[in-house]
């Protein structure tokens, strides 16, 4: 047996099991390739064509197929099985205490899309809802002059973030804080990044097992009793103006919830940022636009 044959077999097994994807891959073959390469100890960016004829021992075959079976039986995202997720070519530790990182804000940090709203005076960046700390780490890498704070309400998620900050040697530049929304991180901030829980109630009720394996707190945007997924976002947009510097901006991911977002904030002027998933997933809000949401008695810049 060679690697190409084993990969074909593994891919067919995943395909037949009708799994859900979206945690780093979006189809059975790519997921099988990821798990196979990881199990064989090969780099995840290996050229599969170049490796096609590599001989597979019976032990390797058994180990790879056992891992595929675990993926099928547990319905856990591949990243929980391998303990690793990659964003923008950077590896992050992950386990069930935090969501598998896949934020499109990572692309915007890497491709410079946010840079026009920053300048040399920008010093303080908050990654609110930091989860495993990936965006905080990527922000520190993208902006070598800034100090970054990663905040999350979940001590479990922060324990995972700690591992990633240490792994990338960023202890001096990335601080981690337990906070409910902005409560424990008043700023002022030049940039707030936030990939919050925003899934609406109907979608929460029909999540596939791979997504139910993640902390509910990370996905459920209805914890204050609404059903549109915007509960966390409503509180954030109310509190953010008091925490931003005059030129500060908020970069907010809302996934597939643009309709609910625009229904909740119909007058708000947002800049929609282009990502590989389209221009309706991540938006940028200036302090000026956020102030338009406040009652006029409170709407003066801090």
Ligand X SMILES: C[S@@+](CC[C@H](N)C(=O)[O-])C[C@H]1O[C@@H](n2cnc3c(N)ncnc32)[C@H](O)[C@@H]1O
Name the closest residue to ligand X (Cβ).
131
With 0-12 / 13-18 / 19 or more C-beta atoms within 10 angstroms meaning exposed / middle / buried, residue 43 is exposed
In whole angstroms, the minimum distance from the beta carbon of 204 to ligand X comes to 13
Do 219 and 99 form a contact (C-beta atoms < 8 A)? Answer: yes
Residue 164 binds ligand X (CB under 6 A): no
Binder of ligand X out of 19, 192, 218, 237 (CB under 6 A)? 218
Which DSSP state fits 294? Answer: S
Site string for ligand X, 166-185 (x = CB under 6 A): -------------xxx----
Which DSSP state fits 2? Answer: B
Residue 11 binds ligand X (CB under 6 A): no
Residue 107 binds ligand X (CB under 6 A): no
In whole angstroms, the minimum distance from the beta carbon of 88 to ligand X comes to 12
Site string for ligand X, 112-131 (x = CB under 6 A): -----------------xxx
Count of H-run helices and E-run strands, the chain: 14, 9
Residue 255 binds ligand X (CB under 6 A): no
Q: How do strand 278-286 and strand 244-253 relate by DSSP bridges?
A: antiparallel
Do 165 and 220 form a contact (C-beta atoms < 8 A)? Answer: no
Residue 77 binds ligand X (CB under 6 A): no
Do 103 and 134 form a contact (C-beta atoms < 8 A)? Answer: yes
What is the contact surface with ligand X in residues (CB under 6 A)? 98-99, 101, 103, 129-131, 134-135, 152-154, 157, 179-181, 195-197, 217-218, 232
């Amino acid at each position: 047996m060679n690697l190409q044959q084993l990969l074909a077999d593994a891919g067919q097994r995943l395909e037949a099991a009708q799994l859900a994807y979206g945690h780093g891959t979006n189809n059975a073959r790519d997921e099988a390739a990821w798990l196979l390469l990881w199990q064989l100890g090969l780099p995840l960016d290996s050229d599969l064509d170049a490796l096609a004829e590599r001989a597979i021992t019976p032990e390797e075959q058994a180990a790879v197929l056992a891992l595929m079976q675990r993926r099928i039986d547990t319905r856990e995202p591949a990243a929980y099985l391998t303990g690793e997720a990659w964003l923008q070519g950077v590896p992050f530790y992950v386990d069930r205490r935090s969501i598998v990182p896949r934020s499109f804000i990572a692309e915007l940090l890497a491709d410079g899309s946010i840079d026009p709203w920053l300048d040399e005076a920008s010093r303080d960046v908050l990654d609110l809802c930091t989860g495993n700390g990936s965006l905080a780490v990527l922000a520190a890498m993208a902006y070598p002059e800034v100090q970054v704070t990663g905040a999350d309400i979940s001590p479990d998620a922060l324990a995972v973030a700690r591992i990633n900050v240490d792994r990338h040697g960023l202890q001096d530049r990335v601080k981690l804080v337990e906070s409910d929304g902005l409560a424990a991180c008043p700023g002022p901030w030049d940039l707030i990044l936030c990939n919050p829980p925003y899934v609406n109630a109907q979608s929460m009720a029909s999540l596939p097992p791979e997504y139910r394996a993640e902390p509910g707190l990370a996905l459920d945007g209805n914890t204050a009793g609404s059903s549109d997924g915007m509960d966390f976002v409503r509180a954030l947009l109310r509190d953010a103006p008091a925490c931003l510097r005059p030129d500060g901006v908020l970069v907010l991911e809302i996934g597939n919830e643009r309709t609910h977002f625009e229904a909740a904030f119909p007058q708000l002027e947002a800049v929609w940022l282009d990502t590989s998933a389209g221009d309706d997933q991540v938006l940028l809000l200036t302090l000026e636009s956020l102030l338009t949401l406040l009652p006029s008695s409170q709407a003066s810049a801090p």
